[in-house]
Amino acid sequence: MKNLSLQIRRERNLRLLTVSATLLAVLIIVFTVENLLISLVLAFACTYLLSPFVRHLERIGLSKNLAVLIPFLSLLILLTALIVFTIPLIIQQSLEFRDELPKYIEGASLLITKWEQKFREFSPYVLKINLVENAARLTEATVTNIIQSAPKIAQQLFTVSLLSPLFCYFLLRDGHGISKSLLSIFPNNIFEMAISLSYKINAQIGEFIRARLIEAVIVGIVVWIGLSVMNFPYAIFLALFAVLMNLIPYVGPFIGAIPAFIIALVNQEPSLVIMMMALVYLIAQIIDIIFVIPLVVAKTVNLHPASVIIVFIIGAHLMGVLGMIIAVPVASVFKLIFFTIYDQLIKFRA
Amino acid sequence: MMNLLWDNLFKKEDATQRTISVLSQSKLFSRLTKRELRVVEDLVHERHYRMSEAIFKQGEIGIGMYIIARGSVEITVVEPDGETSVITNLKRGDFFGELSLVEENGKRTANAIATEDSVLIGFFKPDLAAILQTAPAIGAKITTNLAEVLGRRLKLTTDKISQLRREMSTLSGLSKADEKS
């Protein structure tokens, strides 16, 4: 009997070691192989976005392959059409921006000089740094950096655009099988907890990603339409930036509006234009707060706003923009894991 | 190499057939067609247990049920005085833990221990939810069967309570008669 329980314990430990080693190996590969992390993040986002459609098609009687293929190809066609439609606009606005860049640098310098003077008048001893010189140096360094890394960014974009659809297709088709195989190596004593956790994580991340994407797209469309109607420069760039930043809860909408205000201030736009621009962002946020958040976002972010800001800063520090975007879902998964383990192991044993 | 691949392929097919056969004999999946059983087979989990290994313990949060594909399982309960009593012994084709499929954060009310090396088929709440989402017709058949099983168990429990009450009143009647005499 004693031998048997020793054998059971040995087998459990071996399985736990295998699970931990597998997860660690996956994490190391994902974080070290170039472009893999971003490709997987995009693939997971698309998978979670499409999975309700796949489930619906399966429900009406389509085979798994067909149920995956139809929404997958539809999204691919939609994205291609969107890229084809927006690329001429993006090129046109990029050329305009390139031509007007010296004007913005000069305008920004003037603006900063003005603020610097005002600040010195207010407190002559505090500000000892030369803001204009620093801002000019920073702008020059950023522009040079973008120009130098352009070929690398293009290469990364190419790799990611090939890998993420491929991963997305396989995740949609074989995701359940992959997760079932992984669950099969868990030891018997924590197997039910692992199933429960994987189900909860899947549901939570799925809801979070779908809610954030729908929300960000709605905000982006409102900003694009509003700024285009106003004839405000770089409407599409500003809308895309607002979309990207809206993926970050709480702080994202504010960061998303900053470039538009900088452009307006540098261009020395009349107060009416600045007010109208602020109104566009405000309308986008009102639509977001009144209609979108209660319908799609509520309860998907189960973190306190203060925790969100802390994990957002950690994410930004560790992985830049990608870190800011994935910080909240990753933190909510950790919270879920912690409380499930606490409920199952500690509360049960107490 | 080729032989190994073929062997593995056939082994997997054998395991699939074995699981389908076990599922078809279980009351919960009895109304399902062969094609529907294949859908369920894709979702369930085959687990292997050593003799005397616990499948679950009393008080743990349970999320589903098990069907015995091979071997046997003993269901025991730890009484408030610390004594362990055996409730039942289950064999191939029997199933247990089905109450967890419908309970929210329900705790296991008994221990389940393998009395010999056993193979069990696990069917859990997320699997039932997946079937209800992707194949509601199959989900409806399973939930109807589940309701019947739970209903029958409830009736058995009610009958047992009634019988115990009757026995208790007979006993109290006897003791009163003893006191009078």
CB contact under 8 A, B124 and A55: no
Instruction: Please state, in angstroms and rounded to a whole number, the distance separating the CA atoms of residues B164 and A65.
Output: 57
pTM confidence score: 0.76
pLDDT at site A264: 84
- CB of A188 within 8 Å of any CB in chain B? yes
The pLDDT score that the predictor gives to residue B6 is 58
What does chain B come to in residues? 181
pLDDT band (50, 70, 90) for residue B4: low
Residues of chain A with Cβ-Cβ distance to B128 below 8 Å are: none
Helix/strand/coil for B61: strand
Do A213 and A49 form a contact (C-beta atoms < 8 A)? Answer: yes
Predicted pLDDT at A129: 57
Q: Chain B within 8 Å of A9 (Cβ-Cβ)?
A: no
Which of the given ranges, A90-99, A321-330, B96-105, B140-149, has the highest pLDDT on average?
B140-149
CA atoms within 13 A on the CB side of A159: 14
d(CA A221, CA B160): 65
Question: B71 or B181, which is more confident?
Answer: B71
Contacts of A235 (CB under 8 A, 6+ apart): A93, A223, A224, A227, A228
Contacts of B55 in chain A (CB under 8 A): 188
pLDDT of residue A22: 93
- Check pLDDT > 90 for residue B75: yes
Hey, is the C-beta of B103 within 8 angstroms of any chain A C-beta?
A: no
Q: Band of the pLDDT at B51, cuts 50, 70, 90? A: very high
Is residue A231 left, alpha or beta, with left meaning phi > 0 and alpha meaning psi from -120 to 50? left
Closest CA to A319 of A23, A33, A46, A37: A37
The answer to whether residue B36 scores a pLDDT higher than 60 is yes
Helix (H, G, I), strand (E, B) or coil at B91: coil
Touching check for B140 and chain A: CB below 8 Å? no
Nearest to B50 among A7, A180, A193 (CB): A7
Residue A132: the pLDDT is 63
Asked if the C-beta of B151 comes within 8 angstroms of chain A's C-beta atoms, the answer is no
Query: Using the beta-carbon criterion (under 8 Å), do A188 and B53 form an inter-chain contact?
Result: yes
Six token digits for residue B154: 């409830």
DSSP secondary structure code for residue B107 in this structure: B
Pick A292 or B93 by higher pLDDT.
B93
Token pair for A144: 């040079």
State which residue of chain A sits closest to B129, comparing Cα positions.
Answer: A199
Q: How close A55 gets to chain B, by Cα (Å)?
A: 5
Residue with token string 């290994």: B53
Mean pLDDT of chain B: 88
Q: Quick one: which H or E segment has residue B144?
A: helix B136-180
Cα(A152)–Cα(A146) distance, integer angstroms: 10
Sort out which chain B residues have CB atoms less than 8 A from A8's CB and list them. 50, 52-53
Query: What is the rounded CA–CA span in Å between residue B113 and residue B77?
Result: 11
Q: Do B133 and A195 touch (CB under 8 A)?
A: no
> What does the pLDDT read at residue B177?
79
Top residue of B40, B44, B50, B104 to mutate, by most chain A CBs within 10 Å, is B50
Nearest-neighbour CA in chain B from A45: distance (Å)? 20
Residue A189 tokens read as 């004593």
- Which residues in chain A have Cβ-Cβ distances shorter than 8 Å to B124? 192, 195-196
B42 part of contact set with chain A, CB < 8 Å:
yes
Helix axis angle for A188-229 and A131-184, nearest 10°, is 140
Chain A environment of B64 (Cβ under 8 Å): 192, 195
Considering only alpha carbons, which residue of chain B is nearest residue A176?
B43
Predicted local confidence at residue A294, as pLDDT: 62
Q: Which two tokens stand for residue A139?
A: 């702008």
3-state DSSP helix/strand/coil % of chain B, to nearest 5: 55, 25, 25
Measured CA to CA, the distance from residue A133 to residue B178 in angstroms comes to: 108
Cβ-Cβ contacts under 8 Å, A195 against chain B: 45, 63-64, 124, 126
b/e burial code for range A260-282 (CB count within 10 A of at least 16 → b): beebbebbebeeeebebbeebbe
Q: State yes or no: ipTM above 0.95.
A: no
Question: Using CB atoms, which residue from A5, A196, A343 is nearest to B52?
Answer: A5
Torsion, Cα A235 A239 A241 A246, to 10 degrees, reads: 160
Contact: A188, B125; criterion CB under 8 Å: no
DSSP string, A175-219: HHHHHHHHHHTS-HHHHHHHHHHHHHHHHHHHHHHHHHHHHHHHH
As a whole number of angstroms, the distance between CA A30 and CA A22 comes to 12
Q: Are residues B46 and B57 in contact, defined by beta-carbon separation less than 8 angstroms?
A: no
Residues 6+ apart with CB under 8 A from B29: B23, B37, B40, B142, B145
Q: Is A191 on the interface with B (CB under 8 A)?
A: yes
The reported pLDDT for the residue numbered A296 is: 54
* Distance set, CA A290 to CA A282, A283, A293, A295, A312 (Å): 12, 10, 7, 9, 24
pLDDT the model gives residue B5: 55
* Long-range contacts (CB closer than 8 Å, 24 or more residues apart) made by A47-51: A47/A168, A47/A171, A47/A172, A47/A175, A48/A205, A48/A206, A48/A209, A48/A210, A49/A75, A49/A209, A49/A210, A49/A213, A50/A75, A50/A168, A50/A172, A51/A172, A51/A206
> Chunked in runs of 10, what are the mean pLDDT values of chain A (350 residues)?
82 92 93 90 92 92 92 92 82 76 73 74 60 67 70 82 93 92 91 90 85 84 90 86 80 82 81 87 81 58 73 83 81 84 67
Q: Which of B61, B96, B107 to mutate to test the interface with A (most CBs of A within 10 A)?
A: B61
Tell me whether residues B42 and A189 touch, CB distance under 8 A.
no
